[in-house]
Structure formats: C-alpha cells, structure tokens
Amino acid sequence: MNQDTKTKEKLLTEFPASTAEEWREAAEKLLKGKPFDKVMTQQTPEGIRLEPIFRKEVLDTLSAVETLPGFDGYLRGTDAAGYKNEPWEIAQELPYGTASEFNAAARADLMRGQNSLNIILDIATLKGLDPDTAKAGEVGSCGLSLACLKDIETAFDQILPEAISV
C-alpha cells in the first residue's frame, strides 16, 4: 500500500461521514440566517442548477451521465470523438477600446498559451457607425472600436488570424 492510499484511509477514520442533511445544517449555521439556496446554489443560463456539492444521489438523477459525445440528444456534443478531433480553445475576452491596446493584449496572451481570440466590439462598430458621429459612450467603452481598414491592420499587426480561431 503506497503512502497516498494510507493518508486517504487515515483521513476517512479521523473525520466521520456526514449525511447531506447534516452538511446542510452545518452550512446554514455558518450562513447566519442568509438563505441557503440563494447563497449556495445558482442557475446557469442553460437552466442547469449548480449545487455546492454534488453527491452520488444527485448524480444518479442526471440523464447526461450515461450519454456519449456524438449520440442522440447531443448533450455532450455532435462529434463522437469529442474534443480529441478539435482540441479545446483557450480564449478570454479582450475588452480593449483601441486597436493598439487590443493588439498588445492579444499578442501577450497568445505568447502565454491562448490559442483563440474572443473579440468584443464596441456599440459604434456593431451599429456600423463612424466614431466621429456616434453618441458618447458608444465608441471603445465596451469593446474594440474598428472604423476602417487601418484599425483592423493595427489590431492584427504581427498576429496571423488564419493560424488561430477568431
């Protein structure tokens, strides 16, 4: 028996098992009157309820556990090989207003392992407006402002869009 297994077995003897109800009572006590469901759980936009702890009893009720990628229902994707054909993309939003700020951040992130760019455009660009005629707050405040070809060239200077997902 290796040391790691011995450590796990020792932990199991030092801490008694608790039921879901006992755990919830202890958590509610620590919450000091705050509503458990509001603080400890949340709903995703897809309608999935995120619990603080998923116990085996809950896992047994989930239909997606027994499904495989590429099979009817497509809960785990449409490709049977899953992520193995197309590896995971690493991206984060780059909320910079100017093309030069975006370029500097994108190049730095790509050098550190990011392999995809998630470009958030400002309101003026989304509406197809010239920045000079757009309303205050519509240019560069919540995303990248692209008004002309020069802006795009600046944003992608020394970046090969064909080599990454954009």
Whether 102 and 117 have beta carbons less than 8 Å apart is answered as no
Between 71 and 146, where is the model more confident? 146
- Return the percentage of the chain with pLDDT > 90, whole number: 43
pLDDT level of residue 83 (50, 70, 90 thresholds): confident
Please say if the pLDDT value at position 111 is more than 60: yes
Lowest-pLDDT choice from 8-12, 51-55, 92-96, 155-159 = 8-12
Domains in the chain: boundaries: 3-83, 93-163
* Close Cβ partners of 65 (under 8 Å, ≥ 6 residues apart): 59
Per-residue pLDDT tens digits for 12-63: 677 778 888 998 999 999 999 999 999 999 998 888 889 898 888 777 777 7
pLDDT at 1: 54
Average pLDDT, the chain: 86
Residue 4: its pLDDT value, please? 64
Residue 2 banded pLDDT, cuts 50, 70, 90? low
The values of phi and psi at residue 45, to 5°, are -60, -25
- 90: pLDDT strictly greater than 80: yes
Mean pLDDT across 99-116 = 95
> DSSP letters along the chain, please?
--HHHHHHHHHHHHS----HHHHHHHHHHHHTTS-HHHHH-EE-TTSPEEPSS--HHHHTT-GGGG--TTSTT-TT-S-TTGGGTSPPP---EE--SSHHHHHHHHHHHHHTT--B-EEPBPHHHHHT--TTTSPTTSSSSSSB---SHHHHHHHTTT--GGGSB-
Task: Write down the pLDDT at residue 5.
Answer: 63
* Residue pLDDT, tens place only, 117-140: 999 999 999 999 888 888 888 898
